[in-house]
Amino acid sequence: MALLTLAMVLASGCGRSDDDAGVGGGGGAEAAPGITDTSIKLGGSYPFSGPASAYASIASGAKARFAAENAKGGIDGRKIEFLALDDGYEPQRAVTNARRLVEQEKVFALFNTLGTPNNLAIWDYANQQKVPHVYVATGASAWGADIAKHPYTTGWQPDYVSEAKGYAEFLKKEKPKAKVAVLYQNDGFGKDLLGGFEKAVEGSDIQIVARESYEVTDPTITSQMRKLGASGGDTFLNITTPKFSAQAIAAVAKSDWKPLHILNNVGASKKLVLEPVGLENAKDIVSMTYFKDPEDPQWADDPAMQEYKAGMKEHEPKADPLEAFCAYGWTAASTMIEALKAMKEPTREALMDAVRNMDIEIPMLLPGVKVTTTPDDGFPIQATQIMKFNGENWELQGEVIEAGT
Amino acid sequence: MKRAAWAGVLVLAVLLPFFFSSYRVSQFTLVLAYAVAALGLNLLVGYSGQISLGHGAFFALGAYTTAILVAKSGWPHLATIPVAAAICFAAGFAVGIPALRLHGLYLALVTLGLAVATPQLIKRFDGLTGGTQGLSAPPPAVPGFLDFLAADQWIYLLNLVVAVLMFVLAAGIVRGKVGRALVAVRDNQIAARTFGVDLARYKTRAFALSAAYAGVGGAMFAISIGFVAPESFGLALSFSFLAAIVVGGLATVSGAIFGALFIEFVPVYAADVNEALAAVIYGGVLIVFMYVLPTGVVGLLRRLGARVRPRKGEGGEHAGTRFERGTADAGDGAGERVRAKR
């Protein structure tokens, strides 16, 4: 009996109803899965639990932004439904989440999934299924560099290489003969940024005089800092994650080494890094940014900032609108909304078309920082602006630096 | 009767991918990988009475062996499984030697160290492992003569074949001389030695065998996900294997399947209830489970079976006889308590 059933099932091919062969819609105006005349379903995977759960605020920011758009009537009458699943920052759970979102929840697109390894784990799948996998929340340069093989994937924030170019341009202008001592985290993130910087200063008079690395698991970086201090460098490029950013700032403050201190954006949080070490120790540190910092008083009267804070309060009252991660999620969601608005027909291909041909300003991005893509340029945001800490707040410096092309 | 039940389960398992969505099938594929690893841990903890909090390390070793051989040397996926098993067998043997001198908490700590070190070690050897970026090893393609299968169905069935082999092998081991010797080592070392059981030999081999199972589980994991990264092999993984064998039923072969279902599905549903409280809910379910089913799912099934057919419920596995005797072991103590209530 059982064998008979087996034979029957095998004979009929796969007997399941949800075969996703037709996914993607064949070019015509026929709507793709996850999009109707009244709704658009998006999905993302975030670490709501586990060691990286601080990033969960990004999902809150995005949810609030979509809710605010829905309250205004949605996009051409379509309300956005955003499903954020927990992966605990474990790549295999990101994979099952992506499958669930695509096959079971039938989302129109994957939006803003967080973490470099988690996105690397799902990008082959998303591209095989021809599901847009857009505005991923990671700064790796791979997302924009490999659009030929992964046409459905795109990053969002300035990648680490663009960030490094921003610092190099700043130095070429302000300190063209800088001798740079570098501290970097020995992993994909640190090497991406350092590599970008090395390439960007090639052919200039800027020299890298010392490179010291540390492991994320190291307890301290005391010996690295001592070596860098003795290297004769007059500029310190600090490529670190928050815990080590704070240690490095403290080490410089205690020593008699007084370099020009460039701190990467990952470690530039006032709340997480600068306040714990003492704001006076952070004076004159240079970093970069690309979106409006909700803690910065200069944006207090900015309409975009006010809309953001009101939207957060109304739709995600439990989240802290002063957290930069919330603003990040909000701004990424704004970009998604613009892409959906620009979509010519309700298909996944049309969405990718819109994502790949963008040239717009997003209100929560810094003035002059635009989202620009072309079919050959897979990096949406590449402009950055240098900021300097004045002892109380980050102050924007000079012009926006365009790192693209 | 029992044979018929197993045959029924097998037929269901083969049919399963044809009735579930590809997302569900990929979850069941992972369940198979976890089940093989949990089975290995159960051989060690349940049968030989040693403890390991570090089986995630062997799981990772197996997964990376497969991923590296496939991605860097272009090996066929299935051929990497014996290699993963052999490497993990050797690693398990090496860990098993200090285990001879260490008992209980001390052994737990040594193996805990393994679990803690695993993600960092993977990151250190980033030339080989891809470090934090992970390593992508595309899943096996469906062979031409089976082209009516979807990719996820093919991978599931592939894993199913491996899992069935591993389960049949384990059932044979625990039923035979080796299994009896292991149980003797667990229950009374002096008596075991008196009967001529070489304690050192059986303990280290149990460790090695158990590690090899974890390695095969890891290899299956790498094949089904197609991607390995250090974040997948944290401390939590080792603990979930431990949870799996206790939830499923210590010293049972079939318990590993229930345990694996538990560790794959409960966290997902917990996150659906409330994503901010997912970990709390998972922990709560685990606690409730232990209160309600102290002998695990298999223990419950056996009690139910014994009720339906009084005096005929000897399971055929050693745990069956074990519950009647009731040693000072935690699992047994709990079993005793439940019986007393009845």
Task: Say if residue A166's pLDDT is above 90.
Answer: yes
Q: To the nearest whole angstrom, how far is the Cα of A229 from the nearest Cα of chain B?
A: 26
Query: What does the pLDDT read at residue B65?
Result: 97
Which residue in B22, B221, B268 is closest to A103 by CB distance?
B22
Query: What does the pLDDT read at residue A18?
Result: 47
User: In chain B, what percentage of residues exceed pLDDT 70?
Assistant: 90
Q: Does B12 map to a domain? A: no
- Scanning A140-241, the segments in alpha helix (DSSP H) are 142-145, 160-174, 188-201, 222-229
Structural domain that includes position B27: 22-341
Q: Does B120 map to a domain? A: yes
Minimum CA–CA partner of B152 in chain A: A99
Task: Say if residue A23's pLDDT is above 60.
Answer: no
- Residues 169-228 of chain A with CB under 8 A from chain B are 187-189, 215-217
Query: What does the pLDDT read at residue A334?
Result: 96
Q: Does B248 map to a domain? A: yes
- Residues 196-255 of chain B with CB under 8 A from chain A are 221, 225-232, 234, 236
Question: Domain map of chain A by residue range?
Answer: 39-158+302-373, 160-289+386-402
Average pLDDT, chain A: 89
Three-state SS for B267? Answer: helix
B227 and A120 in contact by Cβ < 8 A? Answer: yes
Among A375, A367, A206, smallest CA distance to A298 is for A367
pLDDT digits (tens, 9 = 90+) for B125-158: 888 998 888 898 888 888 888 888 888 899 999 9
pLDDT band at residue A1, thresholds of 50, 70 and 90? very low
Q: Say how many residues make up chain B.
A: 342
pTM to 2 decimals? 0.81
pLDDT digits (tens, 9 = 90+) for A291-313: 999 988 889 999 999 999 999 99
Task: Say if residue B339's pLDDT is above 50.
Answer: no
Interface probe for A, chosen from B227, B237, B266 (most Cβ of A below 10 Å), is B227
Contact at 8 Å (CB) between B92 and B210? yes
- Scanning chain B, the segments in alpha helix (DSSP H) are 2-15, 22-42, 55-73, 77-99, 104-124, 126-129, 151-175, 177-187, 189-194, 199-225, 235-248, 255-273, 278-292, 296-308, 318-325, 330-341
**Averaged pLDDT, B306-331:** 48
Check CB contact of A92 with chain B, cutoff 8 Å.
yes
Q: Does B14 map to a domain? A: no
pLDDT digits (tens, 9 = 90+) for B33-72: 999 999 999 999 999 999 999 999 999 999 999 999 999 9
Q: To the nearest whole angstrom, how far is the Cα of A49 from the nearest Cα of chain B?
A: 7
CA gap B122, B115 in Å, rounded: 12
Check CB contact of B8 with chain A, cutoff 8 Å.
yes
A18 and B21 in contact by Cβ < 8 A? Answer: yes
Answer left, alpha or beta for residue A233, where phi above 0 means left and psi between -120 and 50 means alpha. beta
Contact at 8 Å (CB) between B65 and B219? yes
What CATH number did the domain enclosing B307 receive?
Answer: 1.10.3470
Query: What does the pLDDT read at residue B341?
Result: 38
A86 and B271 in contact by Cβ < 8 A? Answer: yes
Residue type, B83: V
Check CB contact of A84 with chain B, cutoff 8 Å.
yes
Q: What is the number of alpha carbons within 13 Å of residue B342 lying toward its C-beta?
A: 10
Q: What are phi and psi of B76, to 5 degrees?
A: -70, 145
Query: What does the pLDDT read at residue B262?
Result: 95
CA gap A58, A56 in Å, rounded: 5
CA B96, B98, B104, B108 torsion-angle sign: negative
Query: What does the pLDDT read at residue A158?
Result: 94
**Averaged pLDDT, A245-259:** 94
Query: What does the pLDDT read at residue A84?
Result: 94
Q: Does B4 map to a domain? A: no
pLDDT digits (tens, 9 = 90+) for B161-189: 999 999 999 999 999 998 999 999 899 88
Minimum CA–CA partner of A13 in chain B: B148
ipTM greater than 0.85 = no
CATH fold, domain A160-289+386-402, is Rossmann fold (3.40.50)
Which residue in A14, A88, A116 is closest to B148 by CB distance?
A14
Contact at 8 Å (CB) between A144 and A155? yes
Which residue in A49, A118, A187 is closest to B279 by CB distance?
A49
Minimum CA–CA partner of B10 in chain A: A2
Q: Which residue has the higher pLDDT, A6 or B73?
A: B73
B227 and A95 in contact by Cβ < 8 A? Answer: yes
CA gap A110, A128 in Å, rounded: 13
pLDDT digits (tens, 9 = 90+) for A76-135: 999 999 999 999 888 899 999 999 999 889 999 999 999 888 999 999 999 999 999 999
CA gap B257, B178 in Å, rounded: 22
Total of domains in chain B: 1
Contact at 8 Å (CB) between B134 and B229? yes
CA gap A400, A384 in Å, rounded: 6
Query: What does the pLDDT read at residue B324?
Result: 39
* Beta carbon pairs, A and B, within 8 Å: 130
Task: Say if residue B328's pLDDT is above 50.
Answer: no
CA gap A64, A310 in Å, rounded: 10
* B221 chain-A contacts, CB cut-off 8 A: 92
CA gap A337, B246 in Å, rounded: 48
3-state secondary structure A273-320: HHHHHCHHHHCCCEEEECECCCCCHHHCCCHHHHHHHHHHHHHCCCCC
Contact at 8 Å (CB) between A251 and A258? no
Task: Say if residue B241's pLDDT is above 80.
Answer: yes
Checking DSSP bridges between strand A383-389 and strand A286-289, what pairing results, if any? antiparallel
Three-state SS for A255? Answer: coil
| A39-158+302-373 and A160-289+386-402 share one fold | yes
pLDDT digits (tens, 9 = 90+) for A169-217: 999 999 999 999 999 988 778 889 999 999 999 999 999 999 999 987 7
Minimum CA–CA partner of A124 in chain B: B138
Query: What does the pLDDT read at residue B45?
Result: 93
Q: Does B211 map to a domain? A: yes
Query: What does the pLDDT read at residue A107?
Result: 96
Architecture of domain A39-158+302-373: 3-Layer(aba) Sandwich (3.40)
Q: Does B2 map to a domain? A: no
